[in-house]
Amino acid sequence: MMYEIRLHSRGGQGGVTAARLLAVAAFRDCKYATACPFYGAERRGAPVVSFVRISDEPIRVYSQIREPDLVVVLDASIMDVVDPLYGLKPGGTVLLNSTHEQGINDFRICTVDLTGIAISLDLIIAGSPILNTPVLGALAKLGIVSFDSVKDAISEAFADERNITAAERAYREMVV
């Protein structure tokens, strides 16, 4: 079975890196994985979409994910601009970066305050809280990848151990 994940973020929030790190973690779990951002005219703050596919079989699909199993929203305000839930499979999961639980009918909603975690650890680059490493902890909590592989993927990419602390906190604090 192929598991399809669509990540919605704004330019500068680390959605593209999160997708890539997630693929690395899945690869560490001995799965086939592909990660591909949809690049447009990227600017900081503009909506960005990235796609991750994880499978036990080689992946031959390159087109964008229209019917994801999981949608990750790194910035809830993006929902005013685009509909990140389009095509989400019935009973699919939404992972939302938010300070409070949100009710969205028909889907399993998981919330975690990734921004708060990043700020409390002072994980901030050029004024933007870093969300790409904490979100991996939340994804591990959902069972998409193992937490050990998340740690490997993060430490391979970043020397700063606060990134792993952030992932651990998101793993613990996510409300399912």
Which spans of this chain sit near another protein (rule: CB under 8 A)? 20, 23-24, 27, 32-39, 59-64, 66
CB 12 to another protein: min, Å:
18
Count Cβ neighbours within 10 Å for each residue of 118-141 and write b for 16 or more, e otherwise.
Answer: beebebeeeebbbbbbbbbbbbbb
For 105-160, the DSSP string reads TTSEEEEE-HHHHHHHTT-EETTEEP-TTHHHHHHHHTTSS-HHHHHHHHHHH---
- Of 62 and 127, which has the nearer Cβ to another protein? 62
- Of 66 and 89, which has the nearer Cβ to another protein? 66
Residue 87 contacts by C-beta under 8 Å, 6 or more apart in sequence?
65, 66, 67, 68
- Main-chain dihedrals φ then ψ at residue 89, nearest 5 degrees: -60, 145
Task: Give residue 159's Cα distance to chain centre.
Answer: 20
- Main-chain dihedrals φ then ψ at residue 106, nearest 5 degrees: 75, -10
CB 120 to another protein: min, Å:
30
- Of 118 and 154, which has the nearer Cβ to another protein? 154
CB 151 to another protein: min, Å:
16
Three-state secondary-structure class, residue 77: helix
CB 22 to another protein: min, Å:
10
- Of 20 and 151, which has the nearer Cβ to another protein? 20
CB 103 within 8 A of CB 96: no
CB 156 to another protein: min, Å:
10
- Of 43 and 108, which has the nearer Cβ to another protein? 43
- Of 35 and 94, which has the nearer Cβ to another protein? 35
CB 64 to another protein: min, Å:
6
